[in-house]
Amino acid sequence: MRRSLSKQVFANDQFFKAPLFIPLHYRTNHYTLMFLNFQKREFVYLDPFSVKTGNIIKTKILMKNTLQLIKKIISKKSEVTYELKLQDWKICNEKYTHLPDQKDSYNCGVYVIYYARRIIEIVKGLPSGFDVMDTDSEICEKLRPILFEKVLELSDSIHDRCIFCWSSNESNNIVYVECGRCRNWIHVSCLPKPCKERYNKTKKSEAFLCGLCFKK
């Protein structure tokens, strides 16, 4: 979380006029969401597996640690006049217990983004773009294509870059090969020795597999 809360984020008071969403990648396999409303001094922690029941102890610990970290950052900023006192903050998880719990084991990221969108709609009093009475599968089906298109829109293409050195494949002087499974491109000169030996033995009619795909 220290990386996500960059020291540049709280450079001045402008940053405290808007809510802050912090997605947490819990133990590298599950996404949860923290929400801080600086104007109302409200803290929310939503775990897709337990939105309706919540975990008040974990929420208290996260709120304390997060606010202390932010306070430490802004204490070094002379431009910041916003006062952050832990005793002024309150946990408001109960406002969002109507949101659906995650029922499967793999859509936590979709639910976290769904929660963030619904919180924005609730805070701003906007009509919901997605009805919370929808079934879980319907919510995910609606959100997945939207997220997919947005990620593609904001991301660089990796299909024209070597996955080893990350440089472009545009040069005509460099020989590169496409993995027949993951469809990523690799400069032949960047291939590790075992992969290069396999590449040299691979016939033109055969698909070459990169080191990761070859082990699968």
- Pairing label, strands 42-46, 90-91: parallel
State pLDDT tens for residues 125-141: 655 554 444 445 666 66
Distance from C-alpha of 98 to C-alpha of 176, rounded to nearest angstrom: 53
Name the phi and psi angles at 192, rounded to 5: -60, 160
Q: How far is CA 109 from the centre of its chain?
A: 7
3-class DSSP string for 65-133:
HHHHHHHHHHCCCCCCCCCCCHHHCEECHHHHCCCCCCCCCCCHHHHHHHHHHHHHHHHHCCCCCCCCC
pLDDT tens readout for residues 99-115: 988 887 878 888 888 88
What integer pLDDT is reported at residue 130 of this predicted model? 46
Q: What is the pLDDT of residues 49-89, one digit of tens each?
A: 999 888 899 899 999 999 998 888 888 777 888 888 999 99
Residue 82: per-residue pLDDT: 87
Per residue in 143-202, pLDDT (tens digit) is 667 666 665 555 555 556 777 776 765 666 778 888 887 777 888 888 888 888 888 888
Name the pTM for this structure: 0.58
The whole-number pLDDT of residue 42 equals: 95
Element (H, E) at 149: helix 136-154
**Is 86 within 8 Å of 64 (Cβ atoms)?**
yes
- What pLDDT is recorded for position 155? 52
